[in-house]
Amino acid sequence: MARLFGTDGVRGLANVDITPELALSLSVAAAHVLGDASLAQGRRPKAVVGRDPRASGEFLSAAVVAGLASAGVDVYDAGVLPTPAVAYLTADTHADFGVMLSASHNAMPDNGIKFFAEGGHKLPDEVEDEIAARLDQEWTRPTGAHVGRVHQMRDGHTRYISHLLTVLPNRLDGLKIVIDGAHGAASQVSPEVFRLAGATVHEIGTEPDGLNINDGYGSTHLEHLQEAVVARGADLGIAHDGDADRCLAVDADGVEVDGDQIMAILALAMKDRGALAKDTLVTTVMSNLGLLQAMEREGVSVVQTAVGDRYVLEEMRRSELSLGGEQSGHVIFLDHGTTGDGVLTGLMLAARVADTQRSLAELAGVMTRLPQVLVNVKGVDKSRVETDEELQMAVKAEEAALAGSGRVLLRKSGTEPVVRVMVEAAEQEQAQAVADRLVEVVRARLSLA
């Protein structure tokens, strides 16, 4: 049976896959698993709940709040806030756990439910599986004074903003910045905090109506931001996704600055301040080879993990490191948060521009992105990708031909019968040619026919 929880909570089509009945049952199960420690100590469990502005979040959050309170949990409803804000408030208020309703960068009809453990950390797989196992089990319902109480957390917004301003290394005075909120959870928070930090801000994608989240705006649709930055003569643009746990950027000429370039800039900024623990950056295997080459030149070590910000975070915690992230724009500052924070990432990036008085394009020039080709080969036996000798020989031959000027990565999908073939090389044509040859070998060797 497939796991209920995916790589980032439980996600699907709202009111079909993610129903109010499921939301209520999940919240009750989570209350029993995550609130047990408080109950054992004779205390009532406490939870922080937040959501993005999707229309379905209104009834799904009501179901979550109802389920938690009925299970004896005191609920602090923070309303519409970014995912990292909910994680921060979970830690800051010493709550037993937090709940975020969002489908991140997915289209509006989707929604999802994600839980944070005490301290604002993502749940390990085994805890998620324990919650899933408790669904629809019989339980003793509290009554009278033992039911949970529901409180509106009216200061969650300002507490999160105060936290962001406190950790910012320098002000942003003199910068002109365009913020694209994706009509999502950061639509109010992000422009406000950038203004409070001293920047002149122009907003786009900051008018959520419950239906327009991620619709043509945000980190997956940079066209409007690129146009606005150039038209306004801005120094840079910042784009969030629906729940604002990621950030991409645009320089003054409207050129995209991706997550790898952002990490390169921030790693050097933190190294200069003595804040980059062990002078080491954590990335996934999907980060561009250009990032690794740049960090080697600048004296920064790079540790690579499997794809997924949870694996980046696990490595950061295990090795006591302070900066990590993904090419997609998830960046984690472990000294200041427990999950990717797109607003904080944007602030730190702008702070580096302001501090150095160098353009974002110049700062991003520390690394050269190698051309990258990614092909999804469908309908193959992904289980044999690492054991088929002929395929592995073909990979080694292509890697030898690239002679350190590129790389090859074959990765099986976690959810589909798909093998992902990724090739980087000095020239686009070369990368495409290598990818085409390897795709043919994958099809020939791993065919399901």
pLDDT tens readout for residues 38-82: 877 888 999 999 999 999 999 999 999 999 999 999 999 999 999
What is the C-alpha radius of gyration for the chain, rounded to an integer number of angstroms? 23
Q: Which residues pair with 376 in a beta bridge?
A: 420
Residues 6+ apart with CB under 8 A from 318: none
pLDDT tens, residue by residue, 89-118: 999 999 999 999 999 999 999 999 999 999
- In this predicted structure, what is the pLDDT of residue 414? 67
Question: Reduced to 3 states, what is the DSSP secondary structure of residue 211?
Answer: coil
- In this predicted structure, what is the pLDDT of residue 111? 97
pLDDT tens, residue by residue, 120-142: 999 999 999 999 999 989 999 99
Task: Decide if 394 contacts 437 (C-beta within 8 A).
Answer: yes
- In this predicted structure, what is the pLDDT of residue 74? 98
To the nearest 10°, the Cα dihedral for 102, 195, 258, 366? Answer: -150
pLDDT tens, residue by residue, 148-194: 999 999 999 999 999 999 999 999 999 999 999 999 999 999 999 99
Q: 46-51 and 74-80: which strand pairing?
A: parallel
Alpha-carbon span 214 to 220, nearest angstrom:
8
Residue at token pair 């008085």: 357
- Residue 437: its H or E element: helix 428-446
Q: Could you tell me the pLDDT band of residue 316, with boundaries at 50, 70 and 90?
A: very high
- In this predicted structure, what is the pLDDT of residue 8? 82
pLDDT > 90 in the chain, percent: 88
Question: Reduced to 3 states, what is the DSSP secondary structure of residue 13?
Answer: strand
Asked whether residue 362 carries a pLDDT value surpassing 90, the answer given is: yes
Of 172-186, 251-265, 302-316, minimum mean pLDDT range: 302-316
How far are the Cα atoms of 4, 11, 111, 310, 325 from residue 125, in angstroms, in the given order?
Answer: 11, 15, 20, 10, 20
Q: What letter represents residue 404's amino acid?
A: G
- Six-digit token pair at 310? 């949870």
Q: What letter represents residue 196's amino acid?
A: L
What is the largest distance, in Å, between two alpha-carbon atoms of the chain? 73
- Eight-class DSSP state of 388: -
Give the mean pLDDT of 328-334. Answer: 95
Task: Decide if 295 contacts 254 (C-beta within 8 A).
Answer: no
- In this predicted structure, what is the pLDDT of residue 209? 98
Q: 407-412 and 418-424: which strand pairing?
A: antiparallel
To the nearest 10°, the Cα dihedral for 82, 88, 94, 97? Answer: 50
DSSP alpha helix (H) spans, 306-427 = 309-319, 342-356, 360-364, 389-402
Give counts: helices (H), strands (E), the chain: 15, 18
Asked whether residue 220 carries a pLDDT value surpassing 70, the answer given is: yes
10 Å Cβ neighbour count for 299? 9
- Six-digit token pair at 309? 């910000």
Q: How many CA atoms lie within 13 A of 55 on its CB side?
A: 9
Asked whether residue 227 carries a pLDDT value surpassing 70, the answer given is: yes
pLDDT > 70 in the chain, percent: 99
Q: 150-152 and 74-80: which strand pairing?
A: parallel
Mean pLDDT rounded to a whole number for the chain: 95
Give the mean pLDDT of 415-432. Answer: 89
- In this predicted structure, what is the pLDDT of residue 72? 96
10 Å Cβ neighbour count for 396? 11
10 Å Cβ neighbour count for 144? 5
Give the mean pLDDT of 278-297. Answer: 95
Asked whether residue 25 carries a pLDDT value surpassing 90, the answer given is: yes
Residues identified as active-site: 104
Give the mean pLDDT of 383-389. Answer: 90
Instruction: For residue 62, give the nearest of 4, 9, 21 by alpha carbon.
Output: 21
Question: Reduced to 3 states, what is the DSSP secondary structure of residue 284?
Answer: strand
How far are the Cα atoms of 67, 142, 328, 379, 411 from residue 376, in angstroms, in the given order?
Answer: 40, 51, 18, 10, 10
- In this predicted structure, what is the pLDDT of residue 440? 94
- In this predicted structure, what is the pLDDT of residue 1? 53
Alpha-carbon span 27 to 231, nearest angstrom:
47
